[in-house]
Amino acid sequence: MAAAPLFYAAAIIQAFTRTGFDIKRHAISSLTLGELGWIQTVVFILTGLFSVMAAFGIRCLLRGDKGGTWGPWLIGIYGLGMIVAGLFHPDPGLSFPAGAPADMPTSMSGQAAVHSAAFFTAFICLIAASFVFARRFTAQGELGWSVYCIATGIISPLLIIVGMGINSWIGVIMGIAGVVAFGWVSALAARLRNEASKVRSQK
C-alpha cells in the first residue's frame, strides 16, 4: 500500500527542490542522476521491494482462487522491474543534471537500455495484472472494482502514447500514467488487505 505514495511523494518533493529539474521536460527516472540521484534510486528499489512483498501476500491470500496465480506473478515481475530500473539509470540529457547535454542523447547507453527495458516490462506487467484482477472482480460481482481495473489497463498506456507525442509535457503526462498504474497497485493491496482481515475475523 505504501509503494505508490512513497514513490510520488519523493518525486514531487525532488521535482521542486532539485536544481535544473523540469517536470514538464524530464521523466521522473532522471531524478536518479546527479549527486542526489541516490535518493530516487533508493525509492525505486524500495517501491520494487514493497511490490514483491505484496505479490507474496496476494499469492498467499488468493492461492487456488481466480487470479491467484497470474495476478501475483505479474505484480512480482513489476516489482523486480522497478528494482532493476533503479539500479540502472537513464542517460543525462536536456541539461539535467548539471553539465548534461542540452539535447536528448542521440544514442542510448547500455545502462539506459536496461533501465528502459526494465521499466517497460514492469509497466506491461501492471497492465496485464489489471485485466487479470478485472476478471476476478467480475466473477465476484464487484463491478466497481472490475471497471476500475479495466480503466487502469486502458488509461495508463494511452497516457504513455499521448506523452510520447507531446514532448513539451512528456514528464507530466508520463508521471500521471504512473500515478494511475502505481496507484492501482496500492489501492488493490489495500482492498485485498481488507479482504484478508474479513477472512481472519470469520475464523
Confidence (pLDDT) at 172 = 92
Confidence (pLDDT) at 198 = 72
Q: Which of 114, 127, 113 is nearest to 159 (CA)?
A: 127
Confidence (pLDDT) at 199 = 65
Digitized pLDDT (tens) for each residue of the chain, 203 residues in all: 999 999 999 999 999 999 999 999 999 999 999 999 999 999 999 999 999 999 999 999 898 888 889 999 999 999 999 999 999 999 999 999 999 999 988 889 999 999 999 999 999 999 999 999 999 999 999 999 999 999 999 999 999 989 888 877 889 999 999 999 999 999 999 999 988 777 667 66
pTM recorded for the entire structure = 0.92
Give the torsion through C-alpha atoms of 170, 174, 175, 177, to 10 deg.
Answer: 150
Indicate if the alpha-carbon torsion angle 144, 150, 156, 162 is positive or negative.
negative
Confidence (pLDDT) at 194 = 87
Confidence (pLDDT) at 203 = 61
Using DSSP's 3-state secondary structure scheme, residue 96 falls into strand
Cell numbers representing residue 78 in the block? 513489476
Are residues 103 and 51 in contact, defined by beta-carbon separation less than 8 angstroms? no
Are residues 85 and 122 in contact, defined by beta-carbon separation less than 8 angstroms? yes
Confidence (pLDDT) at 131 = 97
- Long-range CB pairs of 158-167, under 8 A, 24+ apart, other chains included: 160/123, 167/25
Confidence (pLDDT) at 20 = 94
- Residue 113, burial from CB neighbour count under 10 angstroms (0-12, 13-18, 19+): middle
The 3-class secondary structure across 1-45, one letter per residue, is: CCHHHHHHHHHHHHHHHCCCCCCCCCCHHHHHCCCCHHHHHHHHH
Confidence (pLDDT) at 166 = 81
Cell numbers representing residue 170 in the block? 512528456
